[in-house]
Amino acid sequence: MAININNLSNNSQIKTNVDLQSQVKEKAAQSTTSVEQAKVANKDSVSITAQAQKLTELQKKAQGAPAVDVKKIAEMKKAIESGEYKVNPEKLAASLAKFEFDLV
């Protein structure tokens, strides 16, 4: 049985060239994938929900409104000074108790 060793080195060169070509194709595919991912990353966007928009509007309204109703305070002062303002002790006690229970 004879073995032909003359073309042995030639076959290994062909295999090496095929291996190099497959490596080049893999790297090209990887770089294409990276470029596509970069394009997708540039298309990011942000959207605000309807609830968030309403909350923003309410915050703006609250900031613009006065913290204290000056007119109502003046009316209360006048009612206290004139003796017209009466405190209902039962209603006051119930409100205080409810407040305490709500804290827990």
The answer to whether position 15 is within a domain reads: yes
Taking a C-beta distance cutoff of 8 angstroms, is the pair 82, 73 a contact?
no
The answer to whether position 102 is within a domain reads: yes
> 16-60: per-residue pLDDT in tens?
656 767 777 777 777 766 666 666 656 778 888 999 999 999 999
The answer to whether position 57 is within a domain reads: no
The answer to whether position 22 is within a domain reads: yes
- The residue range of the domain holding 14 is 10-38
pTM of full prediction above 0.75: no
- Helix spans in the chain (H): 8-41, 50-64, 70-82, 89-103
The answer to whether position 89 is within a domain reads: yes
d(CA 94, CA 102) in angstroms, rounded, equals 12
Token output for 69 = 């109703």
The answer to whether position 44 is within a domain reads: no
| Domains: count for the chain | 2
The answer to whether position 28 is within a domain reads: yes
The answer to whether position 94 is within a domain reads: yes
d(CA 23, CA 29) in angstroms, rounded, equals 10
